[in-house]
Amino acid sequence: MVPPLVTLAPSADGTAAAAGPGLIADIGGTNARFALVGPDGVAHDSRTLLCADYEGPTAAARAYLAEVRPPAAPVRGAFCVACPVTGDAVALTNNPWRFSVEATRQALGLDRLTVVNDFVANALAVPLLTDADRVRVGGGASVPGMPVAVLGPGTGLGVALLVPTGDGRVVPVATEGGHVTMPATDAREAAVLERLARRFDHVSAERVISGAGLVNLYQALCGVEGVEPAAGEAAEIGRRALDGEDDVCLRALHLMFGMLGTVAGNLALSSGALGGVTIMGGIVPRYLDLFRASPFRAKFEAKGRFRDYLAAIPVDVVTHRYPAFVGLAGLVV
Ligand SMILES: Nc1ncnc2c1ncn2[C@@H]1O[C@H](COP(=O)(O)OP(=O)(O)OP(=O)(O)O)[C@@H](O)[C@H]1O
């Protein structure tokens, strides 16, 4: 069984805690975002550093601390990473950083360092976010005491669960749900996925629901429709769709959001997520109107005899810029 959290705290009495701020970091494929957390539990002095500029999290954290100069050295740390967390050795999926949690704790002089998967940090934020941090996309009320499913396209497709324990607490569960097999739910999806199956050994959800996934979908759709691709990057596909200048780009985004609906519906069924589904990641909040107009909700609910079950489940899109910081802050106060 994979532990959702890796915490190292050699000084059992924790006497040094509380002296300095907490140090938190969201370490992704491209960026490492750092912040400090005071006794009020609020993140401040956030900075974004390029991972490529540093050999690892220790060097990046030192550079961050040298810049913001906290009045006292941090004594507790909580980092989230875009990769599975299975023990002391951490290897980022989309960048070359490899590090030991214990060696990093020692090098930074921390009393305690907790390292979690990035979607675990996102999931931990869900109960702490306010209505101003999210918009609702259909469904009824969240059922108290039932699991919440969290997923979101960015560089990859992150997936985690938040499971109530029955005593008022919740446990985050890291998953690799971004790598489930992507099914087709209509003829066009089947044609697009069939093309992608010629390129990829396994057409996972992440192959079509992520920044790179949008590019894959767009290229396959151009092939199906017999047109030359006019856009290269995900951001360019999105811009052309939003500007109303390219219907193929618009159809590619609709395809991606429809497929996200299928995967989110499957996840809700498999996890019993009557507490709701929360969508995070950097892509969906950029396209809120387009997302609402997309087949997302219809595909989410298109589960035959279980349509009513899905129709009752609320889906929220988180618009807070750094929800992972909210989850991490709770680990250092
Ligand atoms: N305007 C856009 N429309 C669609 N996709 C975009 C847009 N801008 C960036 N992307 C894609 O979004 C992905 C980055 O997602 P996001 O902003 O959530 O970062 P992230 O996954 O948190 O990154 P990191 O791994 O550095 O933490 C990249 O694949 C990028 O190509």
The dotted CATH code for 5-124+323-332 is: 3.30.420.40
Residue 320 has pLDDT above 80, yes or no: yes
Known binding residue 29? Answer is yes
The predicted pLDDT at position 200 comes to 97
Q: What is the pLDDT of residue 30?
A: 87
State the pLDDT at residue 6.
61
Over the stretch 128-187, which tens digit does the pLDDT of each residue have?
999 999 999 999 999 999 999 999 999 999 999 999 998 989 999 999 999 999 999 999
- Tell me how far the alpha carbon of residue 285 lies from the centroid of ligand 1, in angstroms: 11
Ligand 1 contacts CB of residue 147 (under 6 A): no
**pLDDT tens, position by position, 63-100:** 999 999 999 999 999 999 999 999 999 999 888 999 99
Per-residue pLDDT, 15 = 43
Return the ligand 1 atom nearest residue 233 CA.
31
Q: Where are the domains of the chain?
A: 5-124+323-332, 139-313
Nearest CA to ligand 1 atom 31: 211
26 is in an annotated binding site: yes
pTM above 0.90, yes or no: yes
- For the chain, the three-class secondary structure string (H helix, E strand, C coil) is CCCCEEEECCCCCCCCCCCCCEEEEEECCCEEEEEEECCCCCEEEEEEEEHHHCCCHHHHHHHHHHHHCCCCCCCEEEEEECCCCCCCEEECCCCCCEEEHHHHHHHCCCCEEEEEEHHHHHHHHHHHCCHHHEEECCCCCCCCCCCEEEEEECCCEEEEEEEECCCCCEEEEECCHHHCECCCCCHHHHHHHHHHHHHCCCCEHHHCCCHHHHHHHHHHHHHHHCCCCCCCCHHHHHHHHHCCCCHHHHHHHHHHHHHHHHHHHHHHHHHCCCCEEEECCCCHHHHHHHHHHCCHHHHHHCCHHHHHHHHCCCEEEECCCCHHHHHHHHHHC
Assign 9 a pLDDT band (cuts: 50, 70, 90). Answer: low
Q: What is the CATH number of domain 139-313?
A: 3.40.367.20
